[in-house]
């Protein structure tokens, strides 16, 4: 687990004024999150990280089970993951349960000293359920229904699906809820947003709206239904908005997104409550989300103990760095998942990590030799406490043919990725004696701690009302996140309910929807010495998604020390330039033309159009802190990086200058560096540093781990 240094703001405030830095540090676990209070020491700190693997006994001859499980243990894995997608084997007929096979593999795990993660199998309802109640199937927006034969075809909004799921889970939990071999539960599989237009979903949406708004007039106001004659007289008249229909009410669509997130979250909560009746707090409960930053359900299931993510780095889509960078994947991908999940859930980990080639990409290349191990170290570097790989045996039939496992098609020969897992496990075990669990991170690293303020509702609002097709919300985020990792900064994606005071700098990219309380919270934060960076598209709307009945974005003017005269969007063939220092930076997507108030500095100006010379970037000093406003989104993100560099330098924050793809993090008394770049890199380390793994010269896909001194 990573720790923050509470007095960072004081250090920075002092540094800004050129005073001596204090050296007193107070350790405290990360900010309050939905999961913090529930966090028990599920994993021992001394273990650092524990590594396991998925195994599907139901796919293989039972005579091979013991051999396979022994091989899993012999490779060093510490836990095994069972019963995902096995509802048909657990309940072959309604109400008839067959647990014998699962009992056997749990016993085998015990024999070979492997802990077990049990899964709830709800992603694959059996055919008897689907045929008896076809309305459990997801109905598309134009009425077509899914069918049995794949997975995840049942709707989280189907009342039958929910109740049959909970009945099955209750039996599973009754059977295994006090089994000491089982450390925890994973609910469902990669739970997602389920867009269902079936009757139950329609009714549940109406009920949810009624609960939210109380009266239909409140809803009419919030949805602005006076526009285009959309007025409703009663909740029963409302339908789920069509997703592909042009011009659907934006506020209705926002509420539907919220509803869908709620459905996923509440289904998982019901599963967790059912298990809890039998497992109490002896076994933990989690789920494995795809780190999809444009969804609202991650972090919304309050009955889980912690959350995990899944990660597939090489499936032919990510470019990576250099000609063959696709063999390593997007360098920021694991970093960002770590930095997104950890602040929500101080205990977290990766539940599925690709061991080799997959089968479902447009192209399914071989990962670069060594990169599987590097991904694992990168997962570890962020603070994860568990790493689990998908899957032990490569399937020889079914949709995932050609997908690699830890062993190949013969069931026994380790794949290259399998051997890299083995190596990682051995390396972690060797480190367990050197690490100092929970030790404070080095001061130079802690001083850079940066919060990235995130609210998925902003992304929804901007993505459905872009104003410029060239706008990319996540791309805009990465223009800030990327430089921070190059600076060597520890980054937390934070929510606006979090305590801001642990962060010397907070960046709120394109924070479109805002309210007065948040503005006041920001002002207090800055006055006390915090440094806030706001970017274009911030504060235009209230939380209902209405523009302010005031000058454009007026509620943030006092905060940023500037007014916004207007905004402009450029045609792709007619880009323009923002000048900072002597350099020009090309932009097309979004530019706000600023009018600074007295005392506010101008850092960059527009050139080349009728507002040439007017400010694009400003800095406002407020109390002990600063507010930087970056009113423009540039093409390459180079301006954004330059602004951050200038700000961090002004604040005396010790930024590094790692090349793209090189990242460094600290935990448990260890420094960890990874190299996704296509070039070798010589890591700057203080004289006398004790390297425990790897070398100061890092090849592509290299990993270096060292003991840090302070
Ligand atoms: C994941 C999924 C797994 C498996 C895997 C194959 O997205 O959660 O169940 O299908 O892909 O790569």
Q: What are the 10-residue block averages of pLDDT along the chain, 710 residues in total?
A: 39 38 34 62 91 98 98 98 98 98 98 98 98 98 97 98 98 98 98 98 98 98 98 98 96 98 98 97 96 94 96 89 96 98 95 97 96 98 97 97 97 98 97 90 96 97 96 97 98 95 97 97 98 98 96 98 98 98 97 98 96 98 98 98 98 96 97 98 93 97 90
Residue 74 burial class via C-beta count within 10 angstroms: exposed 0-12, middle 13-18, buried 19 and up: exposed
Q: How far is the CA of 84 from the centre of ligand 1 (A)?
A: 11
Query: Which of 190, 313, 351, 404 best tests ligand 1's pocket when mutated (most atoms within 8 Å of CB)?
Result: 190
What is the span of the domain harbouring residue 515? 6-30+448-650
Residue 271 and residue 163: Cα distance in Å, rounded? 10
At 39 the pLDDT is: 58
Q: How far is the CA of 182 from the centre of ligand 1 (A)?
A: 22
Ligand 1 atom nearest the C-alpha of 189 is 8
Q: Are 192 and 310 in contact (CB under 8 A)?
A: no
Closest residue CA from atom 9 of ligand 1: 189
Number of domains composing the chain = 1
Q: How far is the CA of 364 from the centre of ligand 1 (A)?
A: 14
Q: Are 473 and 424 in contact (CB under 8 A)?
A: no
Query: Which of 187, 189, 309, 356 best tests ligand 1's pocket when mutated (most atoms within 8 Å of CB)?
Result: 189
Ligand 1 atom nearest the C-alpha of 190 is 8
Domain annotation covers residue 590 = yes
At 25 the pLDDT is: 34
Domain annotation covers residue 507 = yes
Domain annotation covers residue 489 = yes
Domain annotation covers residue 144 = no
Q: Are 170 and 90 in contact (CB under 8 A)?
A: no
Ligand 1 atom nearest the C-alpha of 290 is 7
At 438 the pLDDT is: 87
Domain annotation covers residue 586 = yes
Q: Are 309 and 351 in contact (CB under 8 A)?
A: yes
CATH of the domain at 594: 3.40.50.880
String of DSSP letters for 488-531: T--EEEE-TTS-GGG-SEEEETT--B--HHHHHHHHHHHHTT-E
At 595 the pLDDT is: 98
At 651 the pLDDT is: 98
Closest residue CA from atom 5 of ligand 1: 390
Domain annotation covers residue 252 = no
Ligand 1 atom nearest the C-alpha of 85 is 9
Domain annotation covers residue 192 = no
Domain annotation covers residue 486 = yes
- DSSP class of residue 597 equals P
Q: Which residues line ligand 1 (CB under 6 A)?
A: 189-190, 310, 312, 352, 358, 390, 400, 403
């Amino acid at each position: 687990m990573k720790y923050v240094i509470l007095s960072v703001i004081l250090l920075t405030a002092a540094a800004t004024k050129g005073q001596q830095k204090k050296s007193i540090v107070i350790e405290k676990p990360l900010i309050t999150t939905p999961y913090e209070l529930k966090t028990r020491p599920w994993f021992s700190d001394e273990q650092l990280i524990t590594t396991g693997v998925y195994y599907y006994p139901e796919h293989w001859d039972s005579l091979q089970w013991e051999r396979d499980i022994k091989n899993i243990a012999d490779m060093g894995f510490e836990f095994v993951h069972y019963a995902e997608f096995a509802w048909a084997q657990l309940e072959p007929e309604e109400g008839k349960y067959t647990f014998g096979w699962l009992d056997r593999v749990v016993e085998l795990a015990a024999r070979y000293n492997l802990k077990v993660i049990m899964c709830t199998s709800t992603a694959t309802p059996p055919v008897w359920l689907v045929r008896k109640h076809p309305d459990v199937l997801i109905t598309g927006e134009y009425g077509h229904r899914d069918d049995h034969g794949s997975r995840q075809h049942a709707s989280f909004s189907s009342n039958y699906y929910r109740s049959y799921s909970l009945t099955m889970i209750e039996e599973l939990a009754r059977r295994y809820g006090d089994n000491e071999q089982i450390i925890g539960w994973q609910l469902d599989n990669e739970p997602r947003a389920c867009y269902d237009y079936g009757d139950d979903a329609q009714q549940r949406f109406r009920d949810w709206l009624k609960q939210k708004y109380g009266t239909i007039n409140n809803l009419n106001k919030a949805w602005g239904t006076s526009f285009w004659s959309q007025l409703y007289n009663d909740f029963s008249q409302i339908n789920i908005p069509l997703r592909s229909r042009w011009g659907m009410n934006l506020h209705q669509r926002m509420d539907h997104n919220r509803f869908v997130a709620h459905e996923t979250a509440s289904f998982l909560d019901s599963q967790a409550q059912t298990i809890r009746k039998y497992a109490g707090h002896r076994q933990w409960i989690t789920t494995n989300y795809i780190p999809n930053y444009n969804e609202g359900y991650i972090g919304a299931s309050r009955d889980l103990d912690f959350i995990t993510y899944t990660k597939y780095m090489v499936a032919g889509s990510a470019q990576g760095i250099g000609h063959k960078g696709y063999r390593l994947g997007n360098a920021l991908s694991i970093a960002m998942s770590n930095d997104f999940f950890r602040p929500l859930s101080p205990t977290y980990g990766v539940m599925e990590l690709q061991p080799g080639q997959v089968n479902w990409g447009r192209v399914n290349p071989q990962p670069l030799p060594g990169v599987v191990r590097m991904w694992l170290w990168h997962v570890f570097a962020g603070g994860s406490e568990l790493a689990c790989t998908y899957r032990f045996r490569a399937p020889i039939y079914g949709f995932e043919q050609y997908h690699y496992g830890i062993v190949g098609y013969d069931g026994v020969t380790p794949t290259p990725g399998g051997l890299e897992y083995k190596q990682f496990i051995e390396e972690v075990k060797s480190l367990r004696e050197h690490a100092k669990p929970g030790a404070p991170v080095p001061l130079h690293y802690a001083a850079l701690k940066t919060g990235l303020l995130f609210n998925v509702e902003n992304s929804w609002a901007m993505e459905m009302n872009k104003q410029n097709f060239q706008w990319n919300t996540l791309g805009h985020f990465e223009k800030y996140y990327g430089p921070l990792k190059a600076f060597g900064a520890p980054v937390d994606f934070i929510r606006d309910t979090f305590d801001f005071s642990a962060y010397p700098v907070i960046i709120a990219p394109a924070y479109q929807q805002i309210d007065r309380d948040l503005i006041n919270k920001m002002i207090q934060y800055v006055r006390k010495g915090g440094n806030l960076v706001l970017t274009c598209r911030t504060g235009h709307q209230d939380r209902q998604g209405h523009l302010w009945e005031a000058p454009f974005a007026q509620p943030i003017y006092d905060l940023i020390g500037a007014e916004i005269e207007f905004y402009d969007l450029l045609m792709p063939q007619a880009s323009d330039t923002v000048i900072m220092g002597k350099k020009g930076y090309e932009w097309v997507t979004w530019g706000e033309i600023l009018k600074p108030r007295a005392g506010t500095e101008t850092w960059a100006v527009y050139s080349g159009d009728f507002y040439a010379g007017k400010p694009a970037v400003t800095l406002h000093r407020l109390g002990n802190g600063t507010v930087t406003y970056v009113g423009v989104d540039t093409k390459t993100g180079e301006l954004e990086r330059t602004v951050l560099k200038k700000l961090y330098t002004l604040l005396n924050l010790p930024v590094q200058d790692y090349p793209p793809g090189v990242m460094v993090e600290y935990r448990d008394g260890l420094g960890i560096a990874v190299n996704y770049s296509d070039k070798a890199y010589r890591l700057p380390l203080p004289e006398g540093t004790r390297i425990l793994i790897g070398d100061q010269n890092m090849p592509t896909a290299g990993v270096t781990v060292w003991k840090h001194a302070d």
